[in-house]
Amino acid sequence: MPTTVRNRTRNHDDAPDTLDAFARLGTLEPGPAHDALRDDLVARWLPMARRLAGKYRNRGAETEDLYQVAAMGLVKAVDRYEVARGAFESYAIPTIDGELKRHFRDHLWAVHVPRRVQELRNKVRIARRDLQDVRPGEPTIGELADRCGIDEQDVREGLEALESYRSLSLDVESRNDEGDGLALADRLGAAEPAFDTVVDREAVKPALRALPERECRILHMRFFQDMTQHQIATELGISQMHVSRLLSRTCSRIRSQALAGCRDAA
């Protein structure tokens, strides 16, 4: 049976002595008493979780969101902790830190960036800050590479990732020599709806040219002169049912030939 060493030495004021409470929690069956003690442990360690979350402030995340993520990590740590593992603090801190880092990785990047590049970004960001503390101005690629212990290509990837963390709002004024003050959204192009119509017209032209004269005349009366099937039948001296069949057959043939032409072109 493993021997548990009682360690009451606490590294921070927000690390309460809860060894006995965790030992008692492990003996309780699921139920109200277990849940009440679990909630009490979470509440007692919550200040530590909030302190850990505070280390990630000023990185683009809302403080309250960080507190929520840290609290979730704390709950996981309380549920999974075993007294035989040692001090709860030693187990909980990596668990909470992991939840916070995962939150940044999965939810706060404007575009998806591989984990390796995210790590390069962090190295480059810290190295640039340290170098700027020593000497004002932007460090060179070589200086950053030496500071991080990585090659210059990795530094460039890290610098690009710095620009990928947060996207610009479309309402931000664009920067140009003209100084017109237009927002980015004002400079974005829009899809022209008529383009699709042009493509469709070009696709059906060969099939239309190959139509017999009567079918071509029926299509013109129906879709360009907006005549009803009854009016077309009266004009041509045929039944309305026959006009309906001719329209359906002709449109199906044109559609099939147009689609076949698109497949051949592709």
Sequence-separated (6 or more) residues with CB below 8 Å from residue 202: none
Q: How far apart are CA 114 and CA 109, in angstroms?
A: 11
| Per-residue confidence (pLDDT) for residue 177, from 0 to 100 | 52
Boundaries of domain holding 252: 196-265
Q: What is the mean pLDDT of residues 159-175?
A: 64
Contact (CB, 8 A) for 164 and 109: yes
Q: Which of 8, 166, 142, 195 is nearest to 88 (CA)?
A: 8
Domain membership of residue 84 (yes or no) is yes
Domain membership of residue 121 (yes or no) is yes
Domain membership of residue 200 (yes or no) is yes
The larger pLDDT score, comparing residue 160 to residue 22, is at 22
Q: From the centroid of its chain, how far is CA 255?
A: 39
Q: pTM for this structure?
A: 0.44
Sequence-separated (6 or more) residues with CB below 8 Å from residue 39: none
Q: What value, to the nearest 5°, has the Cα angle with vertex 180 and ends 178 and 182?
A: 130
Sequence-separated (6 or more) residues with CB below 8 Å from residue 175: none
Tokens encoding 245: 């069949």
How many structural domains are present in the chain? Answer: 3
Residue with tokens 């479309």: 170
Domain membership of residue 181 (yes or no) is no
| Per-residue confidence (pLDDT) for residue 42, from 0 to 100 | 93
Tokens encoding 100: 């916070």
Q: Looking at residue 3, what DSSP letter applies?
A: P
Q: Looking at residue 173, what DSSP letter applies?
A: B
Q: What is the pLDDT of residues 112-160, one digit of tens each?
A: 666 787 778 778 888 888 888 888 888 888 888 998 899 889 888 888 7
Domain membership of residue 184 (yes or no) is no
Contact (CB, 8 A) for 64 and 51: no
Together in a domain, 103 and 23: yes
| Per-residue confidence (pLDDT) for residue 209, from 0 to 100 | 87
Q: What value, to the nearest 5°, has the Cα angle with vertex 69 and ends 65 and 70?
A: 115
pLDDT confidence tier of residue 257, bands split at 50, 70 and 90: confident
What CATH number is associated with residue 25? 1.10.1740.10
